[in-house]
């Protein structure tokens, strides 16, 4: 149309010059509007409730609350980041956290590990690789000895159904500092079952003996007696002991039995007997598998320079 004059177009179309001018003006306006619309970015859905600055503040708030308080809720996170529920809802905050990979997941019951602990774990793993063979765990170590405590609850089935401690974290942060449960041993009534346990490769549980009370000094004296009777030398490790996995399996079995057997009420003595029986019933194959994993643990600890591993 740009190559023809209005007069020539009028002769070809039999339309008046004024009509052609009006049509040309309309086409120019529509073309300009189309170009402007095509350059704009349209986003589906409602506008965002929180700004980019507030989003960054939420991520920083998660890291701060981990060091300051440990576990926290999304409402506490809002308070820490100075976000009022009148401006943004708690549901919006949870949705934002989910979109960015944060889930309200159960905290793994792993003790806190400091930089000093990491150095000691790394040093121990390297010394085991340098000074011993890789099958030292099943061939040369006579037995593994440790003590633990299980919390007594009068109504075990209700306790087994109760929700566990949760924390806002990403799936990959299960072992990171501030993402694990601190794991207090004293219960609501302060009653716990203290047990000293010993295991060895190729054998059932050697010792599963309850004690009225247990502290570091008492355990050390008992451990020295056991070593002297076995004519063994102490190999101390910085919280790297396969028996810890046995303790964890026993804890899970106690909770599962409370649900499957429907134990509504249990006395302290009954709970103590159930703990001892559960420990003694650990299969030999499971004990062997746990001990054989120690060599792989040393590899992972060295690789992570003393950091937490999945075991």
Q: In this model, does residue 182 exceed pLDDT 70?
A: no
Per residue in 33-67, pLDDT tens? 555 555 555 556 677 778 888 888 888 888 888 77
Per residue in 295-306, pLDDT tens? 999 999 999 888
Q: Is 279 exposed, middle or buried (0-12, 13-18, 19+ CB in 10 A)?
A: buried
Q: In this model, does residue 74 exceed pLDDT 90?
A: no
Question: How many Å apart are CA 173 and CA 220, to the nearest integer?
Answer: 35
Query: How confident is the prediction for the chain on average, in pLDDT?
Result: 81
Q: Are residues 278 and 162 in the same domain?
A: yes
Domain harbouring 127, CATH code: 3.30.420.10
Q: Are residues 74 and 123 in the same domain?
A: no
Q: Are 274 and 254 in contact (CB under 8 A)?
A: yes
CB contact set of 263 (below 8 Å; sequence gap of 6+):
156, 157, 257
In a domain, 126, yes or no: yes
Question: How many Å apart are CA 243 and CA 195, to the nearest integer?
Answer: 12
227 or 83, which is more confident?
A: 83
205 or 23, which is more confident?
A: 205
Q: In this model, does residue 112 exceed pLDDT 70?
A: no
In a domain, 45, yes or no: no
Q: Are residues 177 and 257 in the same domain?
A: yes
Rounded to an integer, the average pLDDT of 120-149 is 91
33 or 24, which is more confident?
A: 24
Q: Are residues 260 and 281 in the same domain?
A: yes
Residue-level pLDDT at 253: 94
In a domain, 47, yes or no: no
Residue-level pLDDT at 118: 87
Residues of the chain above pLDDT 70, percent: 83
Q: Are 227 and 305 in contact (CB under 8 A)?
A: no
In a domain, 84, yes or no: yes
187 or 64, which is more confident?
A: 64
In a domain, 107, yes or no: no
Q: Are residues 232 and 124 in the same domain?
A: yes
pLDDT band at 31 (very low <50, low <70, confident <90, very high): low
Q: Are residues 66 and 14 in the same domain?
A: no
Q: Are residues 282 and 152 in the same domain?
A: yes
pLDDT band at 8 (very low <50, low <70, confident <90, very high): confident
Query: What is the count of structural domains for the chain?
Result: 3
Question: How many Å apart are CA 103 and CA 111, to the nearest integer?
Answer: 21
In a domain, 86, yes or no: yes
- Here the tokens at position 225 are 């007696």
Residue-level pLDDT at 296: 92
In a domain, 265, yes or no: yes
Q: Are residues 204 and 96 in the same domain?
A: no
Angle 67-73-74 from CA coordinates, rounded to 5° = 105
Q: In this model, does residue 178 exceed pLDDT 70?
A: no
68 or 136, which is more confident?
A: 136
The domain of 17 spans: 6-39
Q: Are residues 198 and 281 in the same domain?
A: yes
Question: How many Å apart are CA 119 and CA 44, to the nearest integer?
Answer: 51
Q: Are residues 182 and 280 in the same domain?
A: yes
Residue-level pLDDT at 123: 93
Read off the pTM.
0.62
293 or 190, which is more confident?
A: 293
Q: In this model, does residue 185 exceed pLDDT 50?
A: no
In a domain, 110, yes or no: no
User: Which of 232, 227, 241, 236 has the alpha carbon at shortest distance from 287?
Assistant: 241
87 or 303, which is more confident?
A: 303
Q: Are residues 35 and 183 in the same domain?
A: no
Residues of the chain above pLDDT 90, percent: 27
Q: Are residues 265 and 119 in the same domain?
A: yes
Q: Which residue(s) pair with 108 in the sheet?
A: 180
Rounded to an integer, the average pLDDT of 274-286 is 95
């Amino acid at each position: 149309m740009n190559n023809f004059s209005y007069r020539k177009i009028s002769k070809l179309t039999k339309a008046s010059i004024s009509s052609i001018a009006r049509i040309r003006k309309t086409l120019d306006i529509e073309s300009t509007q189309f170009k402007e619309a095509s350059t704009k970015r349209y986003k589906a859905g409602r506008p965002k409730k929180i700004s980019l600055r507030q989003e960054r503040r939420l991520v920083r708030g998660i890291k701060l609350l981990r060091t300051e308080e440990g576990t926290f809720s999304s409402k506490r996170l809002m308070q820490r980041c100075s976000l009022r529920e009148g401006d943004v809802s708690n549901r919006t905050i949870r949705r934002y956290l989910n979109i960015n990979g944060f889930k309200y997941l159960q905290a793994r019951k792993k003790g806190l590990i400091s930089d000093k602990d990491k150095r000691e774990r790394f040093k121990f793993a390297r010394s085991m690789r340098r000074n011993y063979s890789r099958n030292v765990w099943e061939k040369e170590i006579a037995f593994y000895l440790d003590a633990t405590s299980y919390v007594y609850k009068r109504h075990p089935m209700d306790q087994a159904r109760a929700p566990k401690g949760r924390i806002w974290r990403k799936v990959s942060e299960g072992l990171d500092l501030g993402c694990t449960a601190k794991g207090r041993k004293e219960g609501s009534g302060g009653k716990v079952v203290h047990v000293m346990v010993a295991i060895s490769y190729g054998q059932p549980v050697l010792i599963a003996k309850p004690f009225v009370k247990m502290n570091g000094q008492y355990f050390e004296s008992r451990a020295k007696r056991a070593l002297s009777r076995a004519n063994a030398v102490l190999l101390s490790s910085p919280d790297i002991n396969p028996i810890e996995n046995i303790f964890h399996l026993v804890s899970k079995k106690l909770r599962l039995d409370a649900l499957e057997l429907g134990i509504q009420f249990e006395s302290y003595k009954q709970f103590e007997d159930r703990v001892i029986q559960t420990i003694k019933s650990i299969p030999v194959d499971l004990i062997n598998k746990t001990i054989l994993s120690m060599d792989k643990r040393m590899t992972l600890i060295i690789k992570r320079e003393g950091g937490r591993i999945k075991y």
